[in-house]
Amino acid sequence: MDSIGVLMPVPMSPYLEQELEKRFNLLKLWTVPQKTQFLKDHSGSIRAVVGNAGNGADAELIETLPKLEIVASFSVGIDKVDLNKCREKGIRVTNTPDVLTDDVADLAIGLALAVLRRICESDRYLRSGQWKKGDYKLTTKFTGKTVGIIGLGRIGKAVAKRAEAFSCPIAYYSRTAKPEPKYKYYPSVVELASNCDVLVVACPLTEETRHIVNREVIDALGPKGVLINIGRGPHVDEAELVSALVEGRLGGAGLDVYEKEPEVPEQLFGLENVVLLPHVGSGTVETRNVMADLVVENLEAHFLKKPLLTPVV
Spatial distance between the Cα atoms of 203 and 270, rounded to a whole number of angstroms? 28
Which parts of 35-176 fold into alpha helices (H)? 35-42, 59-64, 83-89, 101-116, 119-127, 154-164
SS3 299: helix
In this prediction, residues 24-36 reach a mean pLDDT of 97
In this prediction, residues 5-28 reach a mean pLDDT of 97
In this prediction, residues 202-225 reach a mean pLDDT of 97
Spatial distance between the Cα atoms of 279 and 76, rounded to a whole number of angstroms? 13
107 CB contacts (<8 Å, ≥6 apart)?
230, 256, 277, 280, 281
Domains along the sequence of the chain with CATH? 5-95+286-304 (3.40.50.720), 101-276 (3.40.50.720)
- Residue-level pLDDT at 181: 86
Handedness of CA 62, 40, 95, 159 (dihedral sign): negative
Q: Considering 232, 235, 288, 302, which one is annotated as catalytic?
A: 232
- Residue-level pLDDT at 1: 86
Decide if 202 contacts 225 (C-beta within 8 A).
Answer: no
268 vs 54, higher pLDDT? 268
Instruction: Summarize pLDDT for 44-73 with one digit per residue, the tens.
Output: 999 999 999 999 999 999 999 999 999 999
Spatial distance between the Cα atoms of 228 and 226, rounded to a whole number of angstroms? 7
Q: Is the pLDDT of residue 217 over 90?
A: yes
- Average pLDDT over the chain, rounded to an integer: 97
Instruction: Summarize pLDDT for 140-160 with one digit per residue, the tens.
Output: 999 999 999 999 999 999 999
Q: Considering 21, 261, 263, 286, which one is annotated as catalytic?
A: 261
Cα–Cα nearest to 27, from 19, 37, 36, 38: 38
- pLDDT band for position 208 (cuts 50, 70, 90): very high
Angle, alpha carbons 121-127-133 (nearest 5°)? 90
Decide if 43 contacts 261 (C-beta within 8 A).
Answer: no
- Residue-level pLDDT at 298: 98
- Burial code of 75-102, b = ≥16 C-beta within 10 A, e = fewer? bbbbbbbbbebbeeeebbbbbbbebbbb
SS3 171: strand
Decide if 53 contacts 12 (C-beta within 8 A).
Answer: no
232 is an active site residue: yes
- Residue-level pLDDT at 180: 85
Q: Is the pLDDT of residue 212 over 90?
A: yes
Q: Considering 69, 279, 297, 300, which one is annotated as catalytic?
A: 279
Q: Is the pLDDT of residue 37 over 90?
A: yes
Decide if 174 contacts 191 (C-beta within 8 A).
Answer: no
- pLDDT band for position 130 (cuts 50, 70, 90): very high
Tally of CA atoms within 13 A in the half-sphere of 299 that contains its CB: 32
Instruction: Summarize pLDDT for 92-128 with one digit per residue, the tens.
Output: 999 999 999 999 999 999 999 999 999 999 999 999 9
Stated pTM of the model: 0.91
Which residue type occupies 176?
Answer: T
